[in-house]
Amino acid sequence: MLNLFNKIRDTYKNESGAALIVVLSFLVLVSIIISSVVMISQINARSFKIVSDRSYAGYLAEGAAARLQWLVMNDKNTNKNSSSLSNFDNTNEETRYSADGRIINMDYEDYKISGQIFDMHSGIDISGSNPTKKLKELQVLYQDDPDKNKEYKTFLDILSDYVDRNSLTHLNGMEKDDYLALDLPPLPRNGKLEYREEILWLPESQNFFLPDKNGRLSEFNIIPPKGMSAFKKGKDNFFSVDKTILMSKLRINSDEADDIINSRNKWSKSSEAITDFIEPEMMSKLKSAFSFKDSGYYTLIIKASPGDGMASRTLLVSLKIDNKINSKGNQYYQYVIY
């Protein structure tokens, strides 16, 4: 009888121990599930907050861009007789809304928005049937580097074959079979470039051209979309050109171009005339090679955020802005939001 009691007791102990393990395991599992649910909820809440902030920032950027267009239009009407910025200064605390690249801080709907105005006429025109002819201007940059000069000539041959309508291959060019070998069967276009970023599809191109900090190939003018008129020809706007264009137009080296850009940057933060930052001899060359007046075609760059530490958006719009409202409304050559 005693042996039977001991067996029952031992069995009870074993079963109670197993039950305890099951209960503890269940509690651990429940706690893991609860922790996972809480974590997923927090992640979803943060994701929703970021999406919400980005959406709101996008609306702010679009609204600020519309206001900036009005300010440019007003500036054009107010300063009809003094459109050149070569001697303009800000000593009277007057704000100019021209294509000078200055950072403009605006209060919009109680939010701090920053913007910049550039001229669309700021680079090489590659919109025609012979973009190679225009790009030959940049060969001067590689005249002291035989290897780089050879690579650039190869790129020009590739570009020529890309846009021409025949199947003949230039010395270092590429036609359909060459693109097939690279698993790029839709290429070449065999026609005019439709947008400037298309040039990055070409082999060798990224050895010479890369997007700027705003994602633009600013060495080139925007190619007008189908149905939109080309903007007028003329000199590139000095305040909007990049280092490459300065070097090629002025036949100067990298250090000299950097000096000009640094001077332009200092001027943009000052209240003095640009002539106070650049030597008269160089200023004369700049006025000969570039325009100091707006072409009437603008690129507006807007950066907006609902608040400090919150998601932000950058909006780039390129359009023609007249002295008065166009009956067709504003037509955009480019409209990109990041």
**What's the confidence (pLDDT) of residue 4?**
46
**What's the confidence (pLDDT) of residue 282?**
94
pLDDT tens digits along 166-203 = 888 888 999 999 999 988 888 999 999 999 999 999 98
**What's the confidence (pLDDT) of residue 85?**
60
Q: Answer whether residue 91 shows pLDDT above 50.
A: no
- CA dist 239 and 52 (Å) reads 36
Instruction: Kindly state the average pLDDT of the residues 291-316.
Output: 89
- CA dist 247 and 233 (Å) reads 21
pLDDT tens digits along 32-57 = 777 777 777 667 666 667 777 888 88
Instruction: Give the pLDDT band of residue 5 (cuts 50, 70, 90).
Output: very low
Q: Answer whether residue 8 shows pLDDT above 50.
A: no
- CA dist 150 and 148 (Å) reads 5
- CA dist 47 and 182 (Å) reads 39
- Write out the E strands in 95-179: 104-108, 111-119
- Neighbouring residues of 204: CB distance < 8 A, sequence distance ≥ 6: 151, 154, 155, 158
Q: Answer whether residue 155 shows pLDDT above 90.
A: yes
Task: Tell me if residue 252 falls in helix, strand or coil.
Answer: coil
- CA dist 62 and 34 (Å) reads 42
**Token duo for residue 311:** 């998601």
Q: In percent, how much of the chain has pLDDT > 70? A: 86
Q: What is the dihedral of CA 131, 133, 135, 138, to 10 degrees?
A: 180
**What's the confidence (pLDDT) of residue 196?**
92
The structure tokens 């065999």 sit at: 190
Instruction: Kindly state the average pLDDT of the residues 143-166.
Output: 93
Sequence letter at residue 239? F
Instruction: Give the pLDDT band of residue 249 (cuts 50, 70, 90).
Output: very high
**What's the confidence (pLDDT) of residue 9?**
52
Tally of CB atoms within 10 A around 147 = 8
Sequence letter at residue 147? D
Instruction: Give the pLDDT band of residue 90 (cuts 50, 70, 90).
Output: very low
Q: Answer whether residue 252 shows pLDDT above 90.
A: yes
Q: Is the distance from CB of 68 to CB of 117 less than 8 angstroms?
A: yes
Higher pLDDT, 149 or 234: 149
- CA dist 152 and 50 (Å) reads 44
- What is the DSSP secondary structure assignment for residue 171, as one 8-state letter? T
Q: In percent, how much of the chain has pLDDT > 90? A: 46
Q: Answer whether residue 314 shows pLDDT above 80.
A: yes
Q: Is the distance from CB of 96 to CB of 75 less than 8 angstroms?
A: yes
Task: Tell me if residue 124 falls in helix, strand or coil.
Answer: strand
Tally of CB atoms within 10 A around 165 = 9
**What's the confidence (pLDDT) of residue 82?**
57
Give the least confident one: 3-7, 215-219, 248-252: 3-7
* Sheet with 332-337, edge to edge strand ranges: 104-108, 111-119, 297-304, 313-320, 332-337
Between 243-250 and 254-268, two packed helices, what is the crossing angle to 10 degrees?
120
| pTM across the whole model | 0.80
Q: Answer whether residue 287 shows pLDDT above 50.
A: yes
Give the least confident one: 127-131, 291-295, 325-329: 325-329
